[in-house]
A and B are shown apart, each in its own frame.
Chain A
Amino acid sequence: MRLALAACLALAWATTAAAEELAAGISRDTIEITSNFTGTDVVTFGAIESEPGEAVIPGRARDVVVVIRSVEAMDATVRKKERFGPIWVNRETRRFAGAPAFYFVASTRPLKDIARSDALEQFEIGLDHLPIGPAPGAVGGPKDFRDAIVRAKKRVGLYSEHPGGVSFLSQTLFRTTAALPANVPAGNLKVIVYLFANGQVVSSNSMTLFVDKTGIERRLSNFAFNLPWLYGIAAVALSALAGFLSSLAFRERE
């Protein structure tokens, strides 16, 4: 009975909390990778809307978090170098799964001030809360192996955290600009906007951002993946041809 009452109360609280909703959009839904692609900016913007007839509840700790991430996860092998006599060699190797190829997160405040760890973990928000775990059949390693993956991804700009990157333009309007690096993986990205109130997600909005190679880039990579045999033979044949032509060109100069 007490349990049911508690559930009812929780539900009531949740519905009042959900009275605030998100409306969000992105400045573009397709990124075309052409031969002069060097990265691009994507603006995510939106507004917090309240139910008709209800005012936006003032004075609440309200935060917006914007995540841009690839949907597919990667496998990663982490090797640790250790001293062996006078030399450094790879000793331990651990295999991990579940690391997204690309992950960007911007928020109004540092994530740890917005919500508790378990809430962030539930929605995979923040580099510390990505579901990177041992690969199937692999033993779990110490945390520093997992951290090495995040560090390596950060180094090449594929993972980034931007506390304070989301700014409120008014009480209800917010925006953030994500500079997608040139090495952003092709494929679909998810843009997910979360509205937090009092440490809980009260509303979220998910959009798809297509990252696609176009023109010659697309044709070449399709060729490489669809007809690998022919692609390999063509690569060797063209290399040999280029070598042949250069030897001819240089003979004529003599």
Chain B
Amino acid sequence: MQIYLPIAEMPVNVFVIIALGASVGFLSGMFGVGGGFILTPFLMFLGISPAVAVATQSTQIVASSVSGVITHWRQGNVDFKMGGVLLVGGVLGSIVGIQVFNALKAAGQADLFIALSYVIFLGSIGLLMLSESLMAVRQGGSSVGGFKREPGGHYWIHRWPLKMRFQRSKLYISAIPPALLGFLIGLLSVIMGVGGGFILVPAMIYFLRMPTSIVVGTSMFQIIFVAAFSTLLHAITNQSVDAILALLLILGGVIGVQFGLRFATRVRGEFMRLGLAILVLGICLRLGLDLVVPPPDPFTVSAEASK
């Protein structure tokens, strides 16, 4: 069944879009990522312009993240304090990110820099996660980074000032590392044009050493704000949010996310990390191939209405 999209100005198949929303929602519920990195290229593949694709996928991410956070919150699996600290850092990071992005663009070669850093970044995160989770799977334990969490255990993060108690995450650490992490994610997400969930989730697991069960809900909490801000920004500056497309994606997304959440509770933490590692490596591989495979048409055209 075809339906015409008023902003994208083209028809799409209703069921294809709902199924797409549902699959991305499932991944989102499972791993705590937004899923824009899958949704945007797929919508563009269907012929939807990049501007509309980027703007509209963010509305679906708002819906599935809200749905996921509420469910996790009922189970006590969201660390709102941690989410808040990450968010403060994130806002500052995106402000700086816009400056960095413009500076890179002015210097030329922004594309090269972004593409390379993306691949290197994702590749190293993915490989680290893969080896760690494989090791954990083999040992049958749910330890993180190869050693057991000790309640009073110290490592370098504990020596920083501005200590805060994050009860949900069972952490008593300085607020600086999570704020710094949020800052970095904000910076990267502006430069790379993605929400950054698939960077945030591993970083919370390995860098902040949060329990895997808390990470998904907390990441989604932070993603709600990033996606809502992105939706607003696109709606106001480009008028590129397509309400019909959003509705269909949301319909699939909010159902998919609930199934993803349910599925995640049946899977042990190390298998979840293994799955995320494979996902991250998959994205890395796709981006890497885009870089080295000679393009069928070396030219890309983006058109916009004359001002």
Complex Cα–Cα for A127 and B228 (A): 42
- On whether A74 and B304 interact (CB within 8 A), knowing A86-B292, A236-B228, A242-B254, the answer reads yes
Question: A6 in the interface, Cβ–Cβ < 8 Å?
Answer: no
Complex Cα–Cα for A242 and B243 (A): 13
Give min CB distance, B222 to chain A, whole Å. 15
Interface string of B137-154 (1 = CB under 8 A from A): 000000000000000000
Give min CB distance, B292 to chain A, whole Å. 6
- On whether A239 and B250 interact (CB within 8 A), knowing A76-B301, A244-B70, the answer reads yes
Give min CB distance, A233 to chain B, whole Å. 7
| From B254, B293, B302, contact of A243 by CB (8 A) | B254
Question: A189 in the interface, Cβ–Cβ < 8 Å?
Answer: no
A88 touches B4 (CB 8 A): no
Question: A78 in the interface, Cβ–Cβ < 8 Å?
Answer: yes
Complex Cα–Cα for A221 and B255 (A): 27
Complex Cα–Cα for A224 and B62 (A): 19
- On whether A220 and B63 interact (CB within 8 A), knowing A37-B4, A78-B299, A152-B301, the answer reads no
Complex Cα–Cα for A186 and B68 (A): 38
Give min CB distance, A157 to chain B, whole Å. 9
Contacts of A74 in B (CB 8 A): 303-306
Contacts of B9 in A (CB 8 A): 183-186
In the complex, how many residues of chain A place their beta carbon closer than 8 angstroms to a beta carbon of chain B?
66
Interchain pairs with CB closer than 8 A, number: 197
Contacts of B302 in A (CB 8 A): 76-77, 79
Contacts of B59 in A (CB 8 A): 235-236, 239
B93-101, B157-165, B172-180, B230-238: which lies at the interface: B230-238
A43-51, A106-114, A197-205, A246-254: which lies at the interface: A246-254
Complex Cα–Cα for A101 and B66 (A): 39
13 additional contacts, CB 8 Å, given A79-B301, A220-B7, A250-B258? A33-B4, A35-B4, A35-B244, A37-B4, A76-B302, A78-B299, A87-B116, A148-B299, A235-B241, A239-B60, A242-B254, A243-B68, A244-B66
| From B62, B234, B291, B303, contact of A239 by CB (8 A) | B62
A:133-185 near B, CB below 8 Å: 144-145, 148-149, 151-153, 156, 182-185
| From A37, A78, A242, contact of B63 by CB (8 A) | A242
Binding site for A on B (CB under 8 A): 2-4, 6-7, 9-11, 47, 59-60, 62-68, 70-71, 74, 109, 111-112, 115-116, 224, 228, 231-237, 239, 241, 243-244, 246, 250-251, 254-255, 257-258, 291-295, 297-307
Instruction: Specify which of B3, B6, B47, B116 lies most central, judged by the most chain A CB atoms within 10 Å of its CB.
Output: B6
- On whether A236 and B62 interact (CB within 8 A), knowing A87-B292, A88-B291, A90-B300, the answer reads yes
Interface string of A215-254 (1 = CB under 8 A from B): 0111011001100110111011011101111110011000
Can you give 28 contacting A-B residue pairs, CB < 8 Å? A34-B4, A35-B3, A36-B11, A38-B4, A76-B302, A80-B299, A84-B112, A87-B115, A87-B291, A88-B293, A88-B298, A89-B115, A101-B305, A145-B299, A228-B239, A229-B235, A231-B235, A231-B243, A239-B59, A239-B60, A240-B62, A242-B250, A243-B63, A243-B250, A244-B66, A244-B67, A246-B257, A250-B258
Complex Cα–Cα for A185 and B291 (A): 33
Contacts of B291 in A (CB 8 A): 87-89
Q: Find the B residue at minimum CB distance from A37.
A: B4
